[in-house]
Amino acid sequence: MQITKILPLLASAAFAGGIMHNTNQSVDFVRNFAQDASLSNSAVYYNPAGTAFAEDGFYASVNSQTVWQTREIKTDLLGDYEGRSFVPVMPSVLLNWHLGDFAVSGGFFLIGGGGEAKFDDGLPMIDQLISATISAQAAANPALTQMMAAAGISSATDLFSAKFTGKQYVYAWQLGASYRFLEKFSAFLGARINYAYNSYEGEMESKIDNDILNSMLNKTLLDCEQTGWGITPIASLGFHYKKFSAGIKYEHNTSIEMETATEEVDATVAATMPQFADGAKTDNDLPAILSVGASYAWLDWLRTGVGYHHYFDTFASYPNDKQDDLDGDENEFVFGVEADIVNEFTVSAAVQRTLYGITDEYINDLSFVTDSWSVGGGIAFRFNEKFQVQVGYMETIYEEYKKKEASGITKTYDRTSHNIALGLDFKI
C-alpha cells in the first residue's frame, strides 16, 4: 500500500530538530529566562565567560525537570487529533572550578529531544492518505466493496487504526575554560560533544477481524533506531562592572549525521523512504545560536535582565531538507526580574516571546511549531552561602495556526507545554 511511504515521517517528527533546540538547562532559567548575563552557576551554559567572575572555589548545580506537552490538530471534516509527550526526568549538571582570574567549567545536558511522543489516534494526514488508497482499491475490487457494504462501512477510516511512538534524545557534554582580563572583561572557549539517539515504532491494524483485511492492514510499518554525533564549538565574552553585567555567546552549527539500524520495515517503506533502510544516513543538525543579554541591579535586592537569541535554522541541514521550507530564522526576546524578599529568599518571574519563520509549506501534521509566549517563575532559598534550593514552573502559550489545504480541508494547529523544575546548588 502506498500509504506507507508517508508514515515514517510521523515518527521522525515526534520531536523537532534544531528549531526546537532545548535551552532550558537549569532551574535558574525556568524561573527567570534572562540568564544571558548570569554570574551564578547557570552561567556555565548561558554565559560561560561569566564563570570567570566567580569567587574561588568549586561550584555544582544539579537540576531535574518534568515536562508534559500536547499537540492538537483540529479539522473541519475529520474531527480533532491529539498527541501527547511526557518527560518525567530531564536532568542537567553544571560544574565550575574557579581560581584567581581563571575558571574551568563543564556540564551534562539533554540539548534536544528528551522524551517520548505517542500518537495513539493517528493523524488527519494519515487518515486522508489511507482512506484514499483503500477507496481506490475498493473501486477496483468488487470483493472489497461488497465486504465493506456487508459490514455497513461507508468510510474507509472505519477499517483501520494506526499508532506511532517516537523517541529522541541528544545527550551533550560540555567543557571549556574562561579567563578574566582588565578586571571587567572575560572570555571563554570550549566545546560540546553531542550524541543523538532516536527510536521509531509504527504499526497499523484492521478494526475488523477479516482474513482479507487482516492480511492487508495488520503490519509493522517501522521498527528502527538512529544514532549520530557532532561537536559544537562555543565562544563567549562577558562584562561585569559594579551593578551591571553583560554577556554574548555564539554556538557554531553542529553537524550531525544519523545512521539507521533497522530491525523491521515494511517493504514499501524501505522502497520509498530510503533514509529508514538499514545503514542509511540522514542529516539532523543543531543550528548555530547567537545570544546576547544584560542585567542590572537597581537596588541591593532588585535585579532585572533582558536577552535576545537568534537561531540560524535556515543555515542548518534538517531531515528531508525542512530548512528550505522556512522563510526566516527563529528569534527570541526575554525579560526577567528577581527580588530578594529576605537575604535567604528570592522570588523571580519572566516572560519570553518566540517567533519562528513558519510557512504553510513547513507546517504539517507531522512537524509543527507556532509562535509563542512563555511565562515562568519560581523561588530560590539559601540555607547558607554554600547551599541553595531552587523550584520553578514555566508554561508556553502557543498561537493557533490555521491552514487550508489543496484538498479543501482546513486544519488548525495548536500545542501546550508545561515544565516543573527542581535544582540544588553547592559550593565547596
Kindly compute the dihedral angle of the four CA atoms of residues 37, 41, 42, 46, in this order, to the nearest 10 degrees: 50
Question: ∠ CA(116), CA(118), CA(119), 5° rounding?
Answer: 155
Least confident of 1-10, 13-22, 48-57: 1-10
Per-residue burial over 336-360, b if 16 or more Cβ lie within 10 Å, else e, is bbbebeeeeebebbbbbebebbbee
Q: To which residue does cell 479539522 refer?
A: 75
d(CA 180, CA 197): 37
Q: What is the pLDDT of residue 13?
A: 36
Checking if the pLDDT of 411 tops 70, the result is yes
Q: Which three cell numbers stand for residue 270?
A: 524501505
Q: Which three cell numbers stand for residue 347?
A: 522570588
Percent of all residues in the chain with a pLDDT value above 70, rounded to a whole number: 93
The predicted-structure confidence for 95-138, as pLDDT tens digits, reads as follows 999 999 999 999 999 998 766 777 777 777 777 777 777 777 77
Q: Return the closest-CA partner of residue 176 out of 49, 290, 56.
A: 49
d(CA 366, CA 134): 21
Q: Return the closest-CA partner of residue 276 out of 5, 55, 1.
A: 5
Q: Return the closest-CA partner of residue 20 out of 414, 332, 379, 365.
A: 332
Q: Return the closest-CA partner of residue 31 out of 375, 426, 401.
A: 375
Structural domains of the chain, ranges and CATH numbers in brackets:
2-427 (2.40.160.60)
Q: What is the mean pLDDT of residues 291-310?
A: 97
Q: What is the pLDDT of residue 6?
A: 41
d(CA 230, CA 193): 6
Least confident of 115-124, 243-252, 277-286: 115-124
d(CA 191, CA 254): 11
Count, residues in the chain: 428
Alpha carbon distances (Å) from 186 to 15, 51, 107, 177: 36, 9, 20, 10
Tally of CB atoms within 10 A around 209: 8
Between residues 247 and 165, which one has the greater pLDDT? 247
How many CA atoms lie within 13 Å of 250's alpha carbon, on the beta-carbon side? 6
d(CA 206, CA 83): 21
Q: What is the mean pLDDT of residues 216-243?
A: 93
Q: What is the mean pLDDT of residues 238-259?
A: 97
- Rg of the chain (C-alpha set): 25
Contact call for residues 45 and 27 (beta carbons, < 8 A)? no
d(CA 167, CA 113): 8
pLDDT class of 274 with cuts at 50, 70, 90: confident
Q: What is the mean pLDDT of residues 236-245?
A: 98
Least confident of 65-69, 193-197, 210-214, 368-372: 210-214
Q: What is the pLDDT of residue 366?
A: 67
- Max distance between CA atoms of the chain, in angstroms, equals 85
Per DSSP, the residues of 257-320 read EEEEEEEEE-HHHHHH-GGGSTT-EEE-PBPPEEEEEEEEEEETTEEEEEEEEEE-GGGS--GG
